Structure 1
Amino acid sequence: MKEFVFFTLNDFTKEGGGTIRILGILNELAKKEVAITLISNIQDRSKVDSRVKHIPINFPISREDKRKIQFLLGVTNYQTVNRKYKPLLSRLSEIFSTLSPESKFIFCEYLDNSVGYWLKKNKVIPSYINDIHGVAGFEFDFQAKQAKNLKTKLGFMLRKFIAERLDRKVFDEASGIIYASKAMYSYYDRKYRSFHTKKNYHLPYLLNDANVSASDEKLVAEIRKNLDLNENDFIFLFAGAFKETGGVPDLIKAFAKVKKRFSSAKLIVIGDGPSYAECEKIVKDEKIGDRCFLVGRKPYHELSSYQEVADVIVCPDRQNNYSELIVHVKYLDALASGKLVINGSFKSVQEINQDKELSLLFKPSDINSLAEQMSLAITNREELERKFEGVNRYVLEILTYKNNINVLLN
């Protein structure tokens, strides 16, 4: 069997959907006694199975350089990047020269995909497989539509054009693609004519068994005390990034509506990001600071303890093309908790949530629809808990990398 070689510039210091996916795939393949090498900047080696061989990149790359590499690959050619980043190319060439050209080279995240293209054009590697973690064009398109002035709008439209041009180059040269949903496959197959000619693998975003942990009783007690929660409160919870498409402001506005009907309702909001200041303003303007708690970013291992104090976990993402293609890890985390869950009715979600058998769904970007489902959760709590009983067991038995990893081996 061929050796798998995974490449990522990620240092794994921030836990999120991308790092959970990489570690989930790596560690489950290792359990199959498959030969695996990880090339990365990972800081904490204990996160990776001991059977995985690790080659450190040992070449610091700034956020600005990462953007420049993608920009240059999108608008010019790989020789331009060679001239500007010759030391990086030399280091990567040195690393890959020690590996068999017969290996399966998998490039993990969005920037990594571009590096795979760059290395192949320089004949450092014979082929590469992309795991699609992000669609930059979608993000720029969303930001362009939200822009307040023409200059900003045109800037995002230009960035979208460059991102899609880079995608075409990267996908055309790839030998294979790992895609996360049927909706994603359909999108790329329509957009890039070479997509269906590749060796493609359907591997959804799933849970990593190692990240599913029991709650900490001491921490649960501290959370209840610090936020003044009591047994009569009905607690909604959100945990995730405060990004443009994340819908956290929509959630807080919806909660303000729910609070007017139900005095027992409270909301805990975990995370940070670009829309944090906007959320603070909404809390202040709606005068709900005594019921809505913005607690900032928390370590991933504390998530289960916050879930324990919640009655309902809400994933409020706004309508966006990316969510139509990928099930977010926060949704799977929420389902695994055993609590009631509310999520947007995206195509990717409906692929695994047929007939609404896993969670409640609302119309994305519709604050009234979200508020209605939140209110429904309060008024029909016992009935809904009976309906969704056993969802967490299903998720932990079926929707994990452990139970889906064979797609890469077949």
Structure 2
Amino acid sequence: MKYIFFTLRDFNKVGGGSIRIHGVVNALAEKGENVILISSAEDHSPFHPDINHIRIETGFSSKAVLQGLTGLLPATAIITLFPNLFRNILTGFKLVDLNNAKIFFFEYLDNSIGYLLKKTGKIDHYITDIHGIAPIEFAHQKRNSTSLLRRAIATLKYALAMRHDQKVYQKADGIIYSSSQMKKYFENHFRMDLVKDYVLPNLLADEVFVKTEDLAEIDLLSAELGINTEDVILFFAGGFKPTSGVDDLIRVFARLRRDFPELKLMLIGNGPLKGEVQQLISELQLAQWIVQREGLAYEELFRYQALADIIVCPDRMNEFSDMILHLKYLDSLVSGKIVVNGAFSSVKEINKDENLSVNFMPSDEGDLYQVLKYCILRKEELTEKYKNVREYAKNHLTYRSQIDTLIK
């Protein structure tokens, strides 16, 4: 059996999508499976050496246009409208024997490509890996738009996305869901009874466990950031966006400091809420107790986590987080620190009885405050409780540990 994977990604940037692709294909290759990756990647060093790479040139920048038109027009029309893109894609597929193969398409645009290739007879099947759900994003924009024009645009985008997803996912031969909750979403919105299902959460690559702490380096970083041994450090890393809960965390931090003067907060990130975050810090007069960094490379994250006592993922309730296990949560578990995360369905699928981390009710500042207060008061006890979580994650929460899902 051959496993053929397709993506237009060039892997020049590290993010959740590229980490998932690396994790899946490397885990399969490590098990001795015949893995072929058709992509725009030039650097093959992050991949298992046994993977057969076929590089395609795309330089494609009209993702939204192609997907919107896919919802409206026949597949033959789409391929005619983007001749250079599909010429390059088909050049890559012609170099592969498609007999006795499973063909996977990784990301949202890739999934559209798989549908179009099947509908025009270029391939006879495809399996999609779902990373996100566009209609949810557009529905959120529609609900929260104050402008009539923006609301109308969001409504149109939502309708096109639903039409696109109906075509692409109902025509697929298989779908890889990121959680059982995501599987329920699709079954509630589309007819999926003829589509084979796989559930493979967002997981960790083995490479994250190779990183080791240099104590001298950590001490230097601690001194650079003005962190003392008696400080208790709350830690947040992620995008400053409306659903992130970073503003909730700042308000809760202000309350906690009244009882815990040794408390400091480390904020790593940037995003659309940056202005609001800075204003809130100023209004609450918290600047001297908050350490901020932005533009931090993913590879550097673990060095900053090493300074934390409690890592907080304060995301507000939203459909996406309820269905998708965020990479930042998994990275937090690897840190070996106490982790506080929202009690989303996706999280509870792996964090049964709070064996991996401490839950709070998403969007509930009062509960976040109580949970963090509990964690500060029971810091030594909880550190002992969660001391083996890193090892558990290494054995149970990597793509290597769950890749058999795609082989069965």
| Higher deviation after alignment, 320-329 or 141-150 | 141-150
Tell me the CA shift for residue 101 of structure 1: 2.4
How far apart are residue 308 of structure 1 and its match?
Answer: 0.7
Q: Retained in 1: the 8 A contact 2:8–2:58?
A: no
The 5-angstrom pairing of residues 262-301 of structure 1 reads 262-301=260-299
How far did 1:218 drift? 4.6
Residues 276, 196 of structure 1: alpha-carbon distance in 2 compared, 3 angstrom cutoff: farther
What SS class does the counterpart of residue 306 from structure 2 fall into? helix
The answer to which of 92-101 and 23-32 deviates more is 92-101
Q: Does 2:217 align with 1:223? A: no
User: How much does 1:44 deviate?
Assistant: 2.6
Matches within 5 A, 1:321-340: 321-340=319-338
Is structure 2 residue 256 aligned with structure 1 residue 258?
A: yes
* 2:16 maps to 1:8: no
Residue 155 (structure 2) aligned to one of 131, 154, 157:
157
Q: Secondary structure at the match of 1:38?
A: strand
- 2:261 corresponds to which letter in structure 1? S
Partner in structure 2 of residue 99 of structure 1: 96
C-alpha separation between the residues in 1 aligned to 2:220 and 2:144?
39
CA drift at 1:332: 1.1
Question: Is residue 199 from structure 1 mapped to residue 185 from structure 2 by the alignment?
Answer: no
Q: Which among 339, 342, 346 is matched to residue 340 of structure 2?
A: 342
Residue 185 of structure 1, CA deviation: 1.3
Partner of 2:184: 186
> How far does the alpha carbon of each residue in 1:195-226 deviate from its partner, in whole angstroms, 9 at most, with x for none?
23212112111111112322343542332122
Query: Would the alpha carbon gap of residues 58 and 376 (structure 1) be closer, same or farther in structure 2, given more than 3 Å must change?
Result: same
Distance of 1:4 and 1:167 partners within structure 2: 24
Instruction: Give 2:386's match in structure 1, choosing from 388, 391, 395.
Output: 388
Distance 1:196 1:220, change over 3 A: farther
Which secondary structure does the structure 1 equivalent of 2:115 belong to?
A: helix
Judged with a 3 Å threshold, the aligned counterparts in structure 2 of structure 1 residues 301 and 218 are, in CA distance, closer, same or farther, namely: farther
Quote the Cα distance in structure 1 between the aligned partners of 2:214 and 2:42.
26
The one of 313, 316, 320 aligned to 2:311 = 313
What amino acid maps onto 2:402 in structure 1?
N
Asked if structure 2 preserves the Cα contact closer than 8 Å seen for 1:215 and 1:302, the reply is no
1:81 Cα deviation after fit:
2.2
Q: Is the 8 A contact 1:25 1:405 kept in 2?
A: yes
The CA distance in 2 between the partners of 1:209 and 1:283, in whole Å, is 38
The whole-number CA distance in structure 2 between the counterparts of 1:243 and 1:125 is 40
1:402 equivalent in alignment to 2:400: yes
CA distance in 2, matches of 1:30, 1:284: 51
**1:313-357 CA-partner distances (Å, limit 9, x unpaired):** 111111111111111111111112110000000011111112122
- Return 138-147 or 311-320, whichever deviates more: 138-147
Structure 1: stretches of 5+ with no match in the other structure: none
Distance 1:189 1:216, change over 3 A: same
Q: Which residue of 2 aligns with 1:120?
A: 118
| Matched position secondary structure for 1:196 | coil
Query: What is the RMSD computed on CA atoms of the aligned residues?
Result: 1.7
Aligned to 2:107: 109
The alpha carbon displacement at 1:170 in A equals: 0.5
After TM superposition, give the deviation of residue 116 of structure 1 in Å: 1.0
User: In structure 2, how many angstroms separate the alpha carbons of the residues matched to 1:398 and 1:286?
Assistant: 42
**Moved >4 Å (runs of 4+):** none
**What amino acid sits opposite 1:156 in the alignment?**
A
Preserved CA contact (<8 Å) 1:217 1:305: no
Name the CA distance, whole Å, in 1 between partners of 2:49 and 2:226. 43
Q: Separation in 1 of the partners of 2:160 and 2:16?
A: 25
- Report if the CA contact (8 A) 1:143-1:244 is conserved: no
8 Å Cα contact 2:170/2:195 also seen in 1: no
The reply to whether residue 69 of structure 1 matches residue 76 of structure 2 is no
Deviates more, 1:330-339 or 1:260-269: 260-269
Which residue pairs with 1:54 in the alignment? 53
Q: Is the 8 A contact 1:142 1:320 kept in 2?
A: no
3-state SS of 1:83 partner: helix
Shift of residue 253, structure 1, vs aligned partner = 2.5
Structure 2-normalised TM-score? 0.95
Q: Tell me the amino acid that sits aligned with residue 371 of structure 2.
A: Q
Aligned partner of residue 277 in structure 2, secondary structure:
helix
Q: Percent identity at matched positions?
A: 39
* Aligned partners of 1:138 and 1:320 also within 8 Å: no
Contact 1:214 1:305 in 2 (8 A): no
Cα deviation digits, residues 6-52 of structure 1 (max 9, x gap): 11112222222211111011111111111111111224321111111
Cα distance, 1:299 vs. partner?
1.5
**Separation in 1, partners of 2:352, 2:296:** 32
Q: How many residue pairs get matched?
A: 406
TM-score between the two structures when normalised by the length of structure 1: 0.94
**Aligned twin of 1:239:** 237
- Match in the other structure for 1:24: 23
Residues 53-99 of structure 1, C-alpha deviation per residue, up to 9 Å, x if partnerless? 1111222112xx11111111123332342232111111111111221
1:4 maps to amino acid:
Y
Q: Alpha carbons of 1:101 and 1:312: their partners in 2 closer, same or farther (altered >3 Å)? A: same
What is the deviation of 1:367?
A: 2.0
